[in-house]
Structure 1
Amino acid sequence: MSINRFFAALLASAVFAGSACAHAPDGTVRPNFSHALPNVPGKSLVAVEVDYPPGGASAPHHHARSAFIYAYVLSGEIQSQVDDGPARVYRAGESFYELPGAHHRISRNASRTMPARLLAVFVVDTGDQPLTTPDE
């Protein structure tokens, strides 16, 4: 089974983490799934959907120190830069990852006319909060 099919099956059968939405500066972050990993004590799998309006962006940020993140573009195009790596545009169906402690310098919709949606899946220490902290 491919990793994309695995995550699609996992999320299709998931119990939603909650119905409340958190608002990003230029978009919306919605909880999608959250569950402790029974075979990895102390770790949880948390998924959120990030919707970017045309031209929308998130401020530069860090994630929870323990978080390994798999990001999958569901629709549109997302420009991303992690740490000092090159900025790159990811299209629907493409993915990237962030290592624990990474600095997410750029995270934005690459289009000024079409919306974009990203699924971010965190493998994180259970209870490690907040998941995202904007730079000060």
Structure 2
Amino acid sequence: MSARSIIGAACAILAFASPAAAHDVGDIVTPHFEHAIPNIPGKTLTALVVDYPPGGASVPHRHADSAFIFAYVLSGAIESKVNDGQTQTFRAGESWYEPPAARHLVSRNASKTEPARLLAVFVADTAEKELTTPVE
């Protein structure tokens, strides 16, 4: 998967991330690393850094059919709900994973006053064009 595809996916998410209320703000997704996995033909590892301003949130989204995701909170606290699971709060140093084709219904900064930062690591089919798509 090319960095261009990742940036395009991130921009698509941001374009659909219209705030629910005037005070709500979206996230900022920055591509950090991408490399084909040499011993697993057809798979690529991609790392993205997601910055949430105070009160920031991602639009509900679905991950690619082939994407296994590891999420690690770098700073602050993130509230997350994947598929039919409960909404959970993860603090700096904590992590979770998301199975392929997961629906990420809640992904937001748990704080209205402090920023939060998340590292999202995807292992996906190299041919997969979009890592995320908005959920309607």
Name the TM-score class by shorter chain: 0.7 to 0.9
Structure 1 counterpart of 2:54: 54
Letter in 1 for 2:36: A
Aligned to 2:97: 97
Structure 1: segments with no counterpart, 5+ residues: 1-16
Deviation track 1:71-100 (CA, whole Å, cap 9, x = no partner) reads 000000000000111100000000000000
1:31 is aligned to 2:22: no
- Indicate the residue corresponding to 1:8 in structure 2: none
Which ranges of structure 2 fall in alignment gaps of 5 or more residues? 18-25
Task: Give the Cα separation in 2 of the matches to 1:54 and 1:130.
Answer: 27
Partner amino acid for 2:125?
D
Q: Aligned AA for 1:126?
A: T
* Distance across 1 between alignment mates of 2:84 and 2:27: 24
For 1:103 and 1:27, locate their aligned partners in 2 and report how far apart those are by CA, in whole Å: 17
Q: Which has the higher strand share?
A: 1
Who is 1:115 aligned against? 115
Alpha-carbon distance in 1 for matches of 2:134, 2:27: 14
* Distance in 2 (alpha carbons) for counterparts of 1:27 and 1:105: 14
Distance 2:50 2:31 in 1: 9
Alpha-carbon distance between aligned partners in 2 of 1:27 and 1:71, rounded to the nearest angstrom: 15
Q: Distance in 2 between matches of 1:28 and 1:127?
A: 24
CA–CA distance in 2 between the matches of 1:61 and 1:27?
Answer: 13
Select the structure with the greater relative contact order (CA < 8 A; seq sep ≥ 6): 2
Residue by residue over 1:13-52, the C-alpha shift from the partner in whole angstroms, topping out at 9 and shown as x without a partner, is xxxx58x794533021000000000100000000000000
SS of 2:84's equivalent in the other structure is coil
Q: Does 1:63 align with 2:46?
A: no
TM normalised by structure 2 equals 0.83
Quote how far apart the aligned CAs of 1:127 are: 2.5
Separation in 2, partners of 1:127, 1:52: 29
Counterpart CA distance in 2 for 1:93 and 1:122 is 18
